[in-house]
């Protein structure tokens, strides 16, 4: 039977890094096994869910290139299923009505905590006879429906990542299935949907481990077959606490905004908490760069690690530069064009010149934004000269000499890397100067930057006309 898995985000926030990795693992697993990935929006918390967040989540998934096969299904539109499922559990004798109000429960919880007792529900409504409950309901009283957890014994499951995990039933609360307003809680809706959607594997964050026995109990009550659970350890911030806003960017989309290439982000995320094992490259080093096809081919639940991992921005930056370098410039161009559009920049060069410049710049790019900021001079004629670079390389006589050098280039009949270099070196010698001073000055005059590829390669990428103009006009 082909596996069926799901990614089930709650639209109470954007798609964050942890959710994205869960989505990625589900996607890799589905693609690897030829299974089906279902997208399900868990929006039963009407207070906190929003349509806008749903769109944000979909945008994040699209950016990462994670497509799904079924859905998106919205839990808010599947309420009848949950009521029906709850009725089944009730009919099977595994649930009861609870007339305690939220306030009462809160008070009792506070009292229990103060007295040093565990703040679990005391099961008092479990004693209410069914007929009495029905009568009170008919009389207009509202009640929540709670699951009746077995008194003794334990509930366990075999996790694909963690192995056997067991909980004493005495530790499991009689949790609420249906709130008093008839809206299901998460505990019920997940199980109802996971059963209804015939899911075979549940791949989700390890923060759900403690919830799992509650779900296992419901599967049993429903007489449904248990799926395979695979809990994925959490992603932490540099201070080893759970990754959150205070660690900086946690939204996937913010990485797009930072000029990260989606494939680089995906590669980075895949290797956070998962490893294909030892795979050596030609130099005998462990491989880390994997394209999506390779990731799909290599992925397995067994490679997921059990311990939490820290999100390392430096490593992500490294993946990003690796991908930018490896991409053919034609493939990079559309991504760069987005950056240009963002800052309202329009290139004034031919497409061929642009791809050539991209190739030249790739090794020095840190992110896609560089192509719209630091590298502007290669694609158009309006650019700023970096003040630090000016101070360092355009001091004293240099600008004047560069203007003179410009007129020499204007008079040149040949313009190749070799001839451009020969001309400059001859000029430097003529003036009794080190070529380096002129080279560095020219670099700043031509690119506005103190850092750039080899100067004569830059000259060729710019063309004779621009070289002449920029050198002649430098102040």
Number of residues that bind RNA (CB under 7 A): 94
194 makes contact with RNA (CB under 7 A): no
288 makes contact with RNA (CB under 7 A): yes
Within 10 angstroms of residue 314's Cβ, the number of other Cβ atoms is 6
Q: Which is nearer to RNA, 30 or 424 (CB)?
A: 424
CA distances from 248 to 21, 134, 313, 406 (A): 17, 52, 10, 47
Helix (H, G, I), strand (E, B) or coil at 381: coil
**CB-based contact 414:423 (threshold 8 Å):** no
Q: Least CB distance from residue 143 to RNA, whole Å?
A: 7
219 makes contact with RNA (CB under 7 A): no
434 makes contact with RNA (CB under 7 A): yes
**CB-based contact 289:322 (threshold 8 Å):** yes
Q: Which is nearer to RNA, 101 or 351 (CB)?
A: 101
Show the binding pattern over residues 83-102: x = contacts RNA (CB under 7 A), - = does not: ---------------xxxxx
Q: Which is nearer to RNA, 2 or 138 (CB)?
A: 138
Of the candidate spans 65-73, 266-274, 342-350, 351-359, the one that interacts with RNA by CB under 7 A turns out to be 266-274
Show the binding pattern over residues 298-317: x = contacts RNA (CB under 7 A), - = does not: -----x-xxxxxx-x-xx-x
CA distances from 382 to 174, 338, 348, 393 (A): 68, 18, 10, 20
245 makes contact with RNA (CB under 7 A): no
**CB-based contact 21:1 (threshold 8 Å):** no
Residues 111-170 that bind RNA (CB under 7 A): 116, 118-121, 143-144, 162-163, 165-168
Q: Least CB distance from residue 70 to RNA, whole Å?
A: 18
b (16+ CB within 10 A) / e for 360-375: bbbebbebbbbbbebb
**CB-based contact 157:229 (threshold 8 Å):** yes
Q: Of 245, 306, 342, 434, which one is the catalytic site residue?
A: 245
Within 8 A by CB and 6+ apart from 89, the residues are 95, 147, 177, 218, 221, 222
Q: Least CB distance from residue 198 to RNA, whole Å?
A: 20
Q: Which is nearer to RNA, 1 or 103 (CB)?
A: 103
245 is catalytic: yes
Q: Least CB distance from residue 241 to RNA, whole Å?
A: 4
Helix (H, G, I), strand (E, B) or coil at 471: helix
b (16+ CB within 10 A) / e for 173-190: ebbbbbbbeebbbbbbbb
Distance CA 39, CA 36 (A): 10
Residues 22-51 that bind RNA (CB under 7 A): 42, 44-45, 48
Q: Which is nearer to RNA, 34 or 155 (CB)?
A: 155
Just list the catalytic residues. 245
């Amino acid at each position: 039977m082909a596996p069926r898995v799901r990614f089930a985000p709650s639209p109470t926030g954007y798609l964050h890094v942890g959710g994205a990795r869960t989505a990625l693992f589900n996607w890799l697993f589905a693609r690897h096994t030829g299974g089906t990935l279902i997208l399900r929006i868990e929006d039963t918390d009407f207070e906190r869910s929003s349509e806008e967040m749903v769109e944000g989540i979909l945008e994040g998934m699209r950016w990462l290139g994670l497509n799904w096969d079924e859905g998106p299904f919205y839990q808010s539109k599947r309420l009848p299923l949950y009521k029906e499922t709850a009725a089944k559990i009730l009919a099977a004798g595994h649930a009861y009505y609870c007339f305690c109000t939220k306030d009462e429960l809160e008070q009792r919880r506070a009292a229990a905590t103060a007295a040093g007792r565990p703040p679990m529900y005391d099961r008092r409504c479990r004693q209410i006879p069914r007929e009495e409950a029905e009568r009170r309901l008919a009389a207009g009283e509202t009640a929540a429906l709670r699951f009746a957890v077995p008194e003794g014994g334990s509930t366990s499951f075999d996790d694909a990542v963690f192995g056997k995990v067991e909980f004493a039933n005495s530790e499991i609360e009689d949790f609420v299935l249906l709130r008093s307003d008839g809206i299901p809680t998460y505990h019920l809706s997940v199980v109802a949907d996971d059963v209804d959607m015939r899911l075979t594997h549940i791949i989700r964050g390890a923060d759900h481990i403690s919830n799992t026995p509650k779900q296992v109990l419901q599967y049993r009550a429903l007489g449904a077959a248990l799926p395979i659970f695979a809990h994925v350890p959490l992603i932490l911030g540099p201070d080893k606490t759970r990754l959150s806003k205070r660690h900086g960017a946690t939204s996937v989309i913010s990485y797009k905004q930072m000029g990260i290439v989606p494939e680089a982000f995906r590669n980075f995320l895949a290797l956070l908490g998962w490893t294909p094992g030892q795979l050596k490259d030609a130099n005998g080093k462990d491989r880390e760069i994997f394209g999506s096809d390779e990731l799909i081919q290599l992925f397995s639940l067994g490679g997921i690690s059990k311990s939490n991992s820290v999100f390392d921005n430096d490593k992500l930056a490294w993946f990003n530069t690796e991908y930018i370098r490896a991409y053919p410039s034609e493939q990079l161009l559309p991504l760069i064009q987005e950056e240009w559009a963002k800052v309202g920049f329009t290139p004034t060069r031919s497409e061929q010149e642009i791809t050539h410049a991209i190739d030249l710049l790739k090794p020095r790019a840190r992110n896609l934004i560089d192509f719209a900021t630091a590298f502007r001079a290669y694609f158009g004629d309006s650019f700023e000269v970096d003040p630090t670079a000016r101070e360092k390389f355009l001091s004293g006589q240099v600008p004047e000499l560069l203007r003179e050098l410009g007129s020499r280039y204007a008079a040149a009949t040949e313009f190749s890397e070799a001839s451009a270099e020969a001309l400059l070196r001859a000029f430097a010698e003529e003036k009794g100067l080190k070529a380096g001073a002129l080279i560095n000055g020219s670099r700043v005059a031509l690119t506005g930057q103190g850092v750039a590829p080899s100067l004569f390669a830059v000259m060729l990428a710019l063309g004779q006309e621009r070289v002449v103009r920029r050198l002649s006009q430098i102040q």
